[in-house]
């Protein structure tokens, strides 16, 4: 039996909407109800006696608590080393206990205990392992002891009340940041190492000038200038004492303490100290305990009149270590790598570069209980509550190159962890990070790099269903206000990449998995993985017992997803896709990870309202998959399930092994809705959205993306492949119409930032259409231009090389660029720099003239008018008086690019960029 004592942790000071965005850590340890108290077993008097012995620093008193058959020399050495006479206060909290082996039941336990020492303004947190046994006289005694872990260097920070400094013309600097006080005062907070906190009061000016051009663009959106300059009256700064002289521009000058100003500074200090670098042991201490910032870490909280509270951080351990955001709104203004990181690492990085562990395999067992709707008392609006999930997940883990003593997993805050155990290490200490969907696990001993081990996490709670990643939302707010205008559909619950419905790696990464999921009678489950043969029908039946579903992912997946709904029965058969181009695979097959399949099974399920189109949807999905397989020479997964569930909004989501599409609910008569206001609504070709979602099985799933900057590799490629399928299925005119719309939206919003900015596009304006216009549509147009520039043969060969090299791995733009460069035999650095990493569009001047040396030759001339040179293809159509049209693609790669065309008769007119391929302004 394992008795767990749970201590949740909350981390603040970190941007809450994006888990990969970090600022200096704020830890709050909050006591939670324990499963069992020492008094339940009877060793509470021993804990009290231990407390007194440690508090007084008396090794002899400790030895009196040791059992007669214990190793006295070891106990003496432990007490001599760990006991400190200067302790003012001590709290001992048993964390969890396990029975000792070879001891009669109930007579021996291994206890993990947390001890917090307070000595003046210093604090220390230690974890001890104690083996205790029941003796005849005088009761419980300590048989063995060791220290497992400790956190030292905790401070109860205070403002120095006896010292006030003049802050006139004082400047505090961070990289690309300056806080300049025209006039004012300063108060400091110190440790024995020096000043670590600074409060500024008075009239100051904040200047933030990020060096990266893309970040300047975001600042320009916010403030109208590349530099954010705003006045402030108060600021709070934290840093390591060794950095104080380099960050503060002048020697502080003493002045008499003004009680009113001291009170104002204290209020600023009290408000900001808990937000960062803080370990709050509120269950065992009434003081706020702070960690010393690491050398290189810097934080400033600036209270501005125009933008509210702005938080600037430089966090040396993060790949993008500089950030500026609004605390109240959580809007990210800037997030980028420092000059040193840019110089030493370059622009490309992976989310998991700094992670200490790799998850190799998941084994998820969960009972899922839908809870139905919540209805407001006086409203027709009904909202899904979510599902109760009770599960246990076993993770197979491998330590990377460095030793590991503590690691973190991602798990939804709403799910309460009841135990964490390991086959190799037994019960493990764990902490929760409230508000951060995190779980921290301590190992009893540091393990070397390369070690493989397992961890099992048990959890339960009610979790809301997530919204779809990809919604066509032209007028989002309207739909939430107009629910009464729609019919009521079957409830559906999706748990996927943003739900954290099972314990998982901090960032999405590839692993195999087994899922064993159960649902109540009448409910069906679709999930990542191939369904096993013993599964019940997905469509609900008159079952009276819970329905058990199992899925196996032999192919590695980036994340696991499941969909729970009430599906209707249908007669549509399973469709099978055969790979017709296996010769496009690399040789020998299988070198790049995963296994290769020659067939794909496509099944489909839907709600009662959508069951009539299930078969046609499955047929279409199979045809789409067959087309993609012919281009890439691969079927990444052996099965795919397409589901149609009821929703007010069109939308979709495509985890590995299945695709979810919304089936729009019927509207009340007279309710007219147009989706033409959204960049990804291609009304002229209705299967486009399905084609996009199916493409994600290759782009986004089989080949992942390293960080949020690289999401265009998923969305842009899926968008372009959907356009290619539209051309294959419906012809060149439909393809042209789609490209025309993509181009229109890309040009309209390119000034909002580069494709590489990812989800942050439109973030400051709260406008998701900007993200879709650029990451989806401009990303697809960049690929279309590259195809025109290097030719079809090199383009599709480069795609195949990129795909197979990075199959079941996470890639970056540099990898895609390299694959195309190999096939094209030329550098494409400038192409990707301009089109992915920058936002400017080219301006061209086009002209034609006869060749003086040959009357039958026409010279096509393009001159680039922008300062920076672009690489792009421009199609020129020559219409002859005979009615014949000849099209040529001119590669525009220099300041002046010319092409000579042999004409075959009188030319009626010359048209430029009629195929809408070039994202450029072209003047005649």
* Below-50 pLDDT ranges, the chain: 1-39, 378-379, 472-486, 590
Distance of alpha carbon 371 from alpha carbon 132, whole angstroms: 45
Nearest to 276 by CA among 11, 15, 17: 11
Distance of alpha carbon 519 from alpha carbon 546, whole angstroms: 6
β-bridge pairing 658-664 and 639-647: parallel
pLDDT of 239 reads 94
User: E strand or H helix at 405, and its extent?
Assistant: strand 404-410
Angle (CA) 80 81 85, round 5°: 70
Give the SS3 label for residue 298: strand
Q: Which two tokens stand for residue 258?
A: 């003004």
pLDDT of 4 reads 33
Q: For the chain, count helices (H), then strands (E).
A: 18, 49
Report yes or no: 819 and 802 within 8 Å, Cβ to Cβ: yes
pLDDT of 593 reads 67
pLDDT of 588 reads 59
Q: Length of the chain, please?
A: 924
Give the SS3 label for residue 863: strand
Place of tokens 């400038």: 830
Q: Which two tokens stand for residue 869?
A: 């040179």
- DSSP annotation of 414: T
Residue 749 CA to its chain's centroid (Å): 24
The percent of the chain in helix, strand and coil, each rounded to the nearest 5, is 25, 40, 35
User: E strand or H helix at 726, and its extent?
Assistant: helix 712-730
Beta strands in 741-865 (DSSP E): 809-811, 843-851, 854-864
pLDDT of 488 reads 62
Upper half-sphere CA count for residue 762 (Cβ side, 13 Å): 16
Nearest to 27 by CA among 335, 322, 344, 278: 278
List of residues 6+ apart from 290 with CB closer than 8 A: 154, 155, 156, 157, 273, 277, 278, 279
Residue 118 CA to its chain's centroid (Å): 38
Distance of alpha carbon 214 from alpha carbon 839, whole angstroms: 8
The DSSP line for 38-51 is HHHHT-HHHHHHHH
Beta strands in 570-710 (DSSP E): 575-578, 599-606, 639-647, 651-653, 658-664, 703-705
Query: Is omega for the bond preceding 900 within 30 degrees of 0, making it cis?
Result: no
Report yes or no: 440 and 537 within 8 Å, Cβ to Cβ: no
Report yes or no: 48 and 90 within 8 Å, Cβ to Cβ: no
Report yes or no: 684 and 667 within 8 Å, Cβ to Cβ: no
Q: Which two tokens stand for residue 607?
A: 């709600």
pLDDT of 674 reads 55
- DSSP annotation of 401: S
Q: Which two tokens stand for residue 812?
A: 């970056």
pLDDT of 478 reads 41
């Amino acid at each position: 039996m394992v008795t767990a004592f749970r201590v949740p942790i909350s981390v603040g000071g970190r941007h809450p909407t994006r888990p990969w965005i970090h600022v200096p850590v704020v830890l709050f340890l909050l006591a939670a109800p324990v499963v069992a108290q020492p008094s339940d077993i009877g060793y509470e008097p021993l804990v009290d006696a231990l407390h007194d012995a440690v508090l007084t620093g008396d090794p002899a008193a400790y030895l009196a608590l040791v059992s007669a058959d214990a190793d006295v020399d070891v106990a003496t050495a432990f007490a001599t080393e760990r006991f400190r006479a200067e302790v003012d206060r001590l709290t001992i909290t048993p964390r969890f206990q396990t029975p000792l082996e070879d001891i009669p039941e109930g007579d021996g336990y291994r206890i993990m205990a947390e001890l917090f020492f307070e000595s003046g303004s210093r604090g220390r947190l230690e974890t001890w392992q104690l083996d205790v046994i029941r003796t005849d006289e005088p009761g419980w005694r300590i048989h063995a002891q060791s220290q497992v872990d400790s956190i030292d260097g905790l401070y109860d920070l205070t403002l120095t009340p006896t010292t006030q400094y003049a802050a006139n013309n004082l400047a505090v600097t961070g990289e690309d940041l300056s806080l300049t006080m025209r006039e004012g005062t300063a108060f400091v907070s110190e440790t024995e190492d020096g000043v670590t906190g600074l409060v500024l009061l008075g009239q100051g000016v904040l200047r933030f000038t990020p060096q990266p051009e893309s970040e300047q663009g975001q600042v320009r959106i916010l403030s109208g200038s590349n530099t954010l300059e705003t006045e402030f009256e108060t600021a709070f700064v934290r840093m390591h004492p060794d950095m104080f002289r380099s960050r503060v521009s002048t020697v502080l000058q003493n002045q008499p303490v003004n009680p009113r100003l001291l009170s104002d500074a204290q209020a600023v200090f009290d408000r900001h100290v808990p937000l960062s670098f803080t370990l709050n042991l509120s269950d065992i201490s009434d003081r706020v305990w702070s960690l010393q910032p690491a050398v290189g870490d810097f934080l400033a909280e600036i209270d501005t009149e125009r933008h509210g509270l702005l938080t600037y951080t430089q966090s040396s351990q993060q790949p993008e270590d500089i950030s500026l955001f609004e605390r109240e709104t959580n809007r990210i203004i800037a997030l980028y790598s420092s000059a040193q990181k840019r110089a030493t690492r370059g622009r490309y990085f992976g989310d998991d570069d700094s992670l200490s562990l790799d998850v190799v395999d998941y084994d998820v067992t969960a009972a899922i209980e839908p809870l139905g709707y919540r209805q407001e008392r006086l409203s027709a609006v009904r909202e899904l509550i979510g599902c109760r999930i009770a599960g246990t997940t076993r993770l197979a883990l491998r330590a990377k190159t460095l030793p590991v003593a503590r690691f973190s997993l991602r798990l939804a805050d709403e799910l309460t962890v009841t135990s964490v155990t390991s086959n190799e290490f037994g019960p493990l200490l764990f902490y929760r990070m409230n508000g951060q969907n995190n779980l921290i696990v301590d190992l009893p001993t540091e393990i070397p790099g390369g070690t493989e081990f397992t961890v099992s996490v048990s959890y339960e709670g009610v979790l809301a269903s997530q919204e779809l990643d990809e919604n066509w939302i032209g007028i989002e707010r309207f739909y939430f206000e107009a629910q009464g205008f729609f019919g009521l559909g079957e409830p559906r619950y999706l748990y996927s990449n943003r739900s954290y419905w099972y314990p998982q790696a901090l960032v999405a990464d590839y692993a195999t998995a087994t899922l064993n999921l159960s649902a109540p009678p009448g409910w069906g489950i679709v999930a990542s993985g191939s369904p096993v043969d013993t599964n019940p029908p997905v469509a609900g039946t008159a079952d009276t017992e819970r329905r058990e579903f199992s899925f196996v992912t032999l192919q590695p997946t980036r994340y696991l997803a499941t969909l729970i709904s009430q599906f209707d029965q249908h007669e549509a058969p399973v469709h099978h896709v055969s790979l017709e181009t296996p010769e496009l695979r690399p040789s020998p097959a299988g070198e790049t990870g995963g296994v290769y399949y020659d067939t794909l099974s496509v099944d489909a399920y839907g709600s009662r309202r959508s069951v009539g189109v299930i078969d046609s949807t499955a047929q279409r999905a199979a045809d789409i998959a067959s087309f993609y397989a012919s281009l890439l020479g691969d079927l990444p997964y052996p099965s795919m399930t397409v589901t149609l569930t009821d929703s007010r909004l069109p939308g979709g989501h495509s985890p590995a092994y299945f695709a979810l599409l919304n089936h729009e609910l019927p509207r009340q008569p007279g309710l007219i809705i147009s989706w033409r206001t959204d960049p990804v609504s291609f009304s002229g070709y209705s299967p486009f959205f399905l084609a996009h979602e199916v493409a994600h099985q290759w782009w986004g799933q089989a080949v992942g993306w390293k960080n949020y900057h690289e999401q265009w590799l998923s969305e842009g490629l899926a968008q372009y492949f959907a356009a290619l399928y539209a051309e294959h299925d419906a012809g060149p005119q439909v393809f042209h119409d789609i490209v025309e719309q993509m181009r229109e939206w890309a040009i309209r919003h390119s000034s909002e930032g580069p494709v590489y900015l990812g989800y942050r596009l439109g973030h400051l304006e709260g406008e998701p259409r900007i993200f879709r216009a650029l990451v989806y549509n401009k990303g697809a147009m960049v690929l279309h231009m590259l195809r025109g520039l290097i030719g079809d043969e090199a383009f599709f060969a480069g795609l195949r090389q990129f795909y197979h090299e990075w199959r079941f791995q996470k890639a970056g733009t540099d990898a895609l660029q390299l694959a195309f460069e190999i096939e094209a035999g030329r550098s494409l650095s400038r192409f990707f720099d301009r089109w992915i990493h920058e936002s400017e569009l080219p301006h061209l001047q086009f002209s034609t003239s006869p060749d003086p040396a040959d009357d039958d030759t026409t010279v096509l001339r393009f001159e680039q008018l922008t300062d920076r040179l672009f690489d792009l293809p421009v199609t020129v159509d020559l219409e002859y008086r005979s009615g014949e049209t000849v099209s040529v693609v001119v590669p525009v790669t220099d300041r002046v690019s010319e092409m000579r065309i042999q004409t075959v008769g009188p030319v009626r007119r010359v048209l430029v960029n009629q195929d809408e391929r070039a994202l450029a302004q072209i003047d005649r």
